[in-house]
Amino acid sequence: MNRCPSRLSVLGAMVAGSLLGGHVQAQDQPLQLQSTEVTASPESDERHSVEAQTLARYQASDLEDVFSSDVEVNVGGGHSAAQKLYLRGVEDTLLNISIDGAQQAGQVFHHTGRISIEPELLKRADIQSGTGDATAGPGALGGSIRFVTKDPEDLLRPGQQMGALVKGTYYSNAEGYKVNTSLYGRFNQDWSGMLVATYQDQNDYDDGNGDRVLGTGARQQLGFAKLVGQLTPDQTLRLSYDRREDQGERTQRPQWVVSGFNRAYPLKSVRETYTLNHAWQPLANPLLALETTLYHTTTELTQDVFDRWGKYHGEVESTGMDLRNTSELGSHRITYGIDYRDDKVTAGPAANRSENKETGSVMGLYVQDSIRVTRDLLLGLGLRYDRYRLDDATDQSFKDTGFSPNVNLRYELTPNLSLLAGHSRALRGPKIRDAFKLDSAANDPNLKAEKARTSELGFEYEQGGWSLGGKLYRTDIRDVIADFLGGPRLYENSGDLRSKGFVLNTAYHWSQVSAGISFHRNDARIDGQRLNVYEHNGLGTSMGDTWILHSDWRASDRLELGWQGRFVRRLDNLRTSVGVVDKPGYGVHDLYLSWQPLQQDQLTLSLTLKNVFDKQYLDHASNEDFEGIPGYAGVVGSAEAGREWRLGLAWRY
């Protein structure tokens, strides 16, 4: 967007000329005002987190809201059913994504989003950009995202035995509402639990021009239960159940707008996840810190194209485990373990849901070592071995095995300045396919495993209240597997994907005010051609240069207010196989105010203003506008919502 520099100059004095975001706390009153926190472990120098506090400020309601403050993550699609996530231009289908360790594998329908999460549940979302380290799990070709849900202890006040939190939010644009009720408490000194129920009902929203965007309304329901037990002083058990349901009138291809060939039909999706987490960490034994995760996830989608073929159903089911231990040995901190996941996908008419079926599995062994070589030098070394198996719907069988090494360095050049470098690799064998394509596409019998490698250089600098950092990266994924539009209905090794770019962020923190800027430039291509959503569905897309600016002020212990701006520069002459499209730039402003008029945060009033200036725009993570190309009318994503007031009221007992 051409006007980005002028907007930055207006804020130049406030951010003291900074260019990179960090996480700094005040000396007198800690105030976590930045949206991301960067970890300092050598095996994950590129890992950062989105925290629950940021989500609450802007009253996050969907996946796009969750990552709106992260400059490396883009979520487009306009509405919940179509939202897809891109990390450094790489689609979430090439990432390892988990909820409390439960991996979210497979894909039900390529025209819908694959990932769903309720922001009210989140404690944080950990993002590892680029090819993951050995602990990132299998198939982390472009990185990993780990959603971590809240515990009862995160909601209970010190000394409190039982509690309740009731929230209500009104959304002005779609004339919708959301109600969330949480009950939590300690049964005794060792056991605690929580129950959460959420219901959200929204109509179709209006875009920045005031036009109704059809097919964007929905009804969403969530049920969540978690039990946490302190079995012994050094053992903790967590059991959780999560069910999320989304239904509404959606276009047959939800990532495109309503049109003559893309009418709206009833669409319903349901995700259920069961998770067991066990941790055993004897304080007197540095060799033992054992973590066990068992999980089962089912994702279903039913579309009723009533005037053509009727109801069609797709389902992905994953069952898995992760067993790992961490040992402290002198200057070494070694994490090693085994993970396994079994996947099944079925699809067919509602009368015969399992008409088409595929099964696959992956087993991995891994070790990751963090070595304090000297006082100033931290070295990370890791290695994964993965074995993939797939039995597809046409009775073909595939097997692949391979090693994935990584090495990372952190060198403290001065007490304030650290230099970072790393290289990692990952392998992913053929996996279960898109459920809605099981009966219309096949696998190339000569499929090879996808192989990724990421190289990265960076630095971190902190001085007083100022933080500055940057990263230069390049990720190459060889032999990506895709079923491209316009070609034979065949999943095949379709080329080599490359994502490269750099990130800069800075922040400055005063006693009650914080401000910062983040910048990301990314270039994602396959065989030299820039990626686009329409043709490279399942791989990635191209984004314009992105700036995120924020400023927050804690006026008192009970009043906070702030602003965030996201500015994306236009992309012109994006060449595709059917013609040239442009991606116009945009700048979007959000404001928030949070007030607690009573003691002990009993009552919280929240006011959020999204898209303050009612900007009309198509997110760069949505399907590009192909309507200017003859024969492609209706091939365009939904415009984002225009101005919206969100008024929230939360009562805590």
CATH of the domain at 367: 2.40.170.20
pLDDT at 24: 31
**Residue 543 contacts residue 84 (beta carbons within 8 Å):** no
- Which strand (E) or helix (H) includes residue 15? helix 4-15
Query: What is the reported pLDDT for 352?
Result: 73
Task: Give average pLDDT by consecutive 10-residue segment, the chain, 653 residues.
Answer: 34 30 33 38 62 91 95 93 96 97 95 93 95 94 97 94 97 96 96 98 97 95 98 97 96 95 96 98 94 98 94 96 97 98 93 83 98 97 98 96 97 97 97 93 95 98 95 98 80 96 96 96 97 95 98 95 98 94 97 94 96 98 96 96 97 93
Question: What is the pLDDT at residue 491?
Answer: 94
Residue (of 416, 392, 302) closest to 350 by Cα position: 302
**Cα–Cα dist 235/228, whole Å:** 11
- Going by C-alpha positions, the residue among 305, 345, 495 that lies closest to residue 434 is 345
In terms of phi and psi (left: phi > 0; alpha: psi -120 to 50; beta: otherwise), the region of 491 is beta
**What's the Cα-to-Cα distance from 637 to each of 24, 259, 289, 533, rounded to whole Å?**
38, 11, 47, 10
- What token pair was written down for 332? 């070494």
- Residue 64: closest CA among 216, 231, 195: 216
Helix (H, G, I), strand (E, B) or coil at 448: coil
Tokens 């923190």 belong to: 509
Angle, CA of 128, 589 and 60, to the nearest 5° = 55
Beta strands in 446-558 (DSSP E): 450-463, 466-478, 481-482, 490-493, 497-509, 513-526, 529-530, 546-556
Q: What does the pLDDT read at residue 530? A: 97
Strand 143-149 and strand 122-129: the pairing is antiparallel
- Give the range of the structural domain holding residue 473, as residue numbers without chain letter: 4-261+268-652
Token pair of 239 as six digits: 């059991």
* DSSP helix/strand/coil, 82: helix
Q: Give the SS3 label for residue 56.
A: helix
Overall domain count for the chain: 1
For residues 333-345, b (16+ Cβ closer than 10 Å) or e, as one string?
bbbbbebebbbbb
Task: Give the C-alpha separation, 199 to 179, whole Å.
Answer: 5
Please state the pTM of the whole predicted model. Answer: 0.92
Contacts of 604 (CB under 8 A, 6+ apart): 594, 595, 596, 648, 649, 650, 652
